Structure formats: C-alpha cells, structure tokens
Structure 1
Amino acid sequence: MTDDPLPEPDWYDRIRSAVTHASAFRGYSHGEIGVRVTNDAEIRQINARHLDHDYETDVISFAYADEPPTLEGELVVSLETAQRVADRVGWSVENELLLYVVHGTLHIAGMDDLEDDVRQAMRDAECQVMQSLGIKDIVHYGPDRVEVNIKPDHSSSETRS
C-alpha cells in the first residue's frame, strides 16, 4: 500500500471490495490485484518510467493476466490527487479514491476510455460498480459530472479531466 496509513482503517477493506466488485462486473471471479496508494511525486515517477508521461495522474494500471475467470494486475493510485479532486467536486476523498480503484480495475479487466466510442461504457461501468458498493451519489459527483463541470488541469491527466 503506502508508507503512510490511509486516513481510516476500514479504507483497506473498502479498496479490496472495490477491486472485487469491479472484477466481478467484468466476469472475473479469481485472481489478484495489488493496490499501492501513494502520492503525486511517486505516481509521476511511475508514469514517466512506465508510460513516458511526465506528469502526475490519478491511477495507473498494469494488467498481467486477464483470461476469465482469472484477473491479475497492479494499481497505483494517488491519495494526493484524490484529496485535491474530492475537494474540487465536493464529495469524500474515500469515494474519489475508490473511483480510481474501480477505474483501474476495469482497465485491467479490458475496458478502455481513450476513444469517445468506448468512454461512455467505461463511465456506465464505473457508476454501476460504485453503486454496488453502496455509493449512490456517484450520479451527482462521479465521472460524468466532473467532465462536464470541471475545467481540465493541464498539469496532470486525471481520469475525469
């Protein structure tokens, strides 16, 4: 995870649940996804090293195996970015971090959002998984609301900018 503990101990269980729900949504029932919660400086280094992108971001996913029913990979998520974006959009840091975990897990499970024709399917999947986690206000604070109402921050590449 991270060298610093998450703000609340139950966040670890919530992260595990987010991975499980997102994996199941895509039809995976076995496997392992490691999640590292870090800061903007470290995620920027990882982004530069592995993707040749010299900026911080919200989540980076690495897929290792995606043959149903087994899914394996790693996620790196920035708690700093989650704190900044949650404050900007007006919902909890925990929900923002869970959205990154769901988003990254869906990427590992084969979904993409780079092209317009598949982006809506990713957004719909994120909303459904977040709602399955009991986060009902995803409709008001989730990815679509941010894309419409928040101007892009060109210093980073957040999922929703």
Structure 2
Amino acid sequence: MEIILYDETTRLKAEEEQLITELLDFAAEKLSLEPTAEISVTIVDNKRIQEINKTYRNKDYATDVISFAMEDEHEDEEAWIIPDEEAFDLPRVLGDLFVSIDKAIEQAEEYGHSFKRELGFLVVHGLLHLNGYDHMTDADEKEMFALQEEILKEYGLER
C-alpha cells in the first residue's frame, strides 16, 4: 500500500513513523486491500485537529483521529459517475487520516499503555473507517473493535 505520511508537528520519531507504515501495510494485507491502494496520514496537534473537527464535522473540540474516505456510499449511486479505475490504471485512493499526537499521548497515559500502542490503535481505527467499518450500532462496534484488536494483537501491539 502506498502510504503518504506527514508530520506537521515534527514530533514523531523515526521508529514511530516506521511503526505507522508497517502497521498500515500489515492491516492492509489482513483486509486484502490492493497493493496499489493509497492513504495519507497526517500527524497534527490538538489545535489543528480541533480546527478540522469544527470545520468538517461542526464539533468544536479536539479528537484523536479523523478520517476522510474517498469512497463514501451515496444514497443515489446512479447520480455518481465512477470511472473504472482499472481501465485508467489508477490506484485506489482510500482517503486521509488526521491523528492528534497530543491525544495519542494523553490517551496512552489514561489507558495505561504505550504511546506506540495508542498510535497504532488510532491509525488502524482510521484505516477501518476508510474501508467502511463503523461503530454507530452495537453490532457494528463489536465487529469493528474485534477486527481492530485482532490486527493489533497479530502485529504485536497488545495492551
């Protein structure tokens, strides 16, 4: 998978950048995503994620991860012209993730596990959202969180 990683905070260490790319590749393989799929991950601070949350979700507070999927379901699919990506040899663009490094640090401390575990949890959570998983209902939450934990455990990022 093509992973474009931006660290607006310049606070990520090299091994944390490597963790993000390796974990996302591992999760993509587990989800049977095309090797040419693309995702961008931007590491931001609480101030920046609060701006994004307010602008795009009308929620004026800092959150941990926000995902913007390129492949949303539409009420009227016939109203959308979706080109055959294979005909144009285009990669599948999954979307963009924004992760608050401040929230990751806070939540790691709150939950009593490492920053790397929390960072991994957030990027996998975001990737699952980009692939249609959600936690709006109890059944959906159970499915998403079980898959999330399975990926993290198999990768070696347990609590």
Q: TM-score scaled by structure 2?
A: 0.78
Aligned to 1:123, what secondary structure does the other structure show?
helix
**Distance of 1:22 and 1:113 partners within structure 2:** 18
What's 1:4 paired with? 9
Per-residue CA distance 1:59-80 (angstroms, 9 max, x = gap):
000111489x935211000110
**Distance of 2:120 and 2:55 partners within structure 1:** 25
Structure 1: runs of 5 or more not aligned: 142-161
Kindly indicate whether residue 109 of structure 2 is the aligned counterpart of residue 104 of structure 1.
Answer: no
Within a 5 Å distance, the mapping from 1:13-32 to structure 2 comes to 13-29=18-34, 30-32=36-38
Q: Is the 8 A contact 1:47 1:55 kept in 2?
A: yes
**Distance of 1:7 and 1:36 partners within structure 2:** 11
Q: Is the 8 A contact 2:9 2:45 kept in 1?
A: no
- Give the percent of matched residue pairs that are identical in Structure 1 and Structure 2: 30
Alpha-carbon RMSD:
1.9
**Distance of 1:65 and 1:21 partners within structure 2:** 21
Pick the structure with greater CA Rg. Answer: 2
1:42 is aligned, of 23, 48, 62, to 48
Within a 5 Å distance, the mapping from 1:118-133 to structure 2 comes to 118-133=140-155
Aligned to 2:11, what secondary structure does the other structure show?
coil
Aligned to 1:54, what secondary structure does the other structure show?
coil
Q: TM-score scaled by structure 1?
A: 0.77
Aligned to 2:123, what secondary structure does the other structure show?
helix
Structure 2: runs of 5 or more not aligned: 1-5, 73-84, 86-90
Kindly indicate whether residue 78 of structure 2 is the aligned counterpart of residue 72 of structure 1.
Answer: no
**Distance of 1:74 and 1:91 partners within structure 2:** 26
What's the offset of the Cα at 1:7?
4.1
Q: Is the 8 A contact 2:8 2:42 kept in 1?
A: no
